[in-house]
Amino acid sequence: MSRAAGRWIAAPIALLGLAAILTAQLGPNRDRIENDLTRRATAALAAAGQTGARVSFTGRDGLIVTSEADAVRARSIVEGVTGVRAVTTHAIPAAAPSTATAATPREVVTLAEDVRATVDLMLLREQLAVVPPLLFGFGGAEPTADSRAALRKAAALLADHPDARIRIEGHTDAQGSKTTNLQLSRERAEAVRDTLRELGVAADRMTAIGYGEARPAAPNDTAGHRAANRRVELALT
């Protein structure tokens, strides 16, 4: 194997190793979820003929390492596995012919930067996942005091990751009409966006969208469950 080829192979292996380190830091229940998703995602890739793809999970977020030619197809397959929340791909450039010259220092640095960026994104996703829920009162679109405190934590995390972009997703419970709830969910997402902007997050890094009552976090059968559904979630894009 040429020295250049070895460099291309070492980087994705290092990426998977870093993902494994992140996984080791999580609790037993998280381990069970990750192992189950990895097993089912790997089986789905194999069934589709994507035997060269490697997938690992941090929580419900998948990381696929595969060839450039297979990246889009592999991502689509893993996104279709029940329980998967988000999927990131790291495409390995096609192997250079044996007559090619060794990779230049700049090419090696660029690949290393890509690896670091991917792992950095995984870390940020985990950090945002433990930010306290952004909840709202019945019929209201103004963030509560607790939600504003949580948004200050989110803004600080985003300040540490200036290249990250987020999707702000508004939700409601099932009380009221679907049309009213859709508008209310948009207002909640926009209120969170405006608050984050006040806290220093650039507007062009954020997209606000409302889903109304279509994506409940819990059944709308009790007051507590309905309160949990009146929320806004932050997702990396």
Q: What pTM value is reported for the model?
A: 0.56
Average pLDDT over the chain, rounded to whole?
82
Find the domain containing 70 and state its range: 3-122
208 beta partners: 168
The reply to whether 101 and 172 lie within a common domain is no
The reply to whether 106 and 181 lie within a common domain is no
The reply to whether 35 and 99 lie within a common domain is yes
The reply to whether 68 and 160 lie within a common domain is no
Nearest-CA neighbor of 122 among 3, 25, 222? 25
The pair of three-digit structure tokens given for residue 132, joined into one six-digit string: 């306290």
CATH number assigned to the domain comprising residue 196: 3.30.1330.60
pLDDT at 58: 80
- The neighbour count for residue 232, using CB atoms within 10 Å, is 27
Q: Residue 123 — pLDDT band, cuts 50, 70, 90?
A: confident
Average pLDDT over residues 69-79: 91
pLDDT one-digit tens code per residue, 33-58? 888 898 899 989 988 998 888 888 88
The reply to whether 118 and 8 lie within a common domain is yes
Give start and end residues of each alpha helix (H) in 83-233. Answer: 105-129, 145-160, 178-198, 223-229
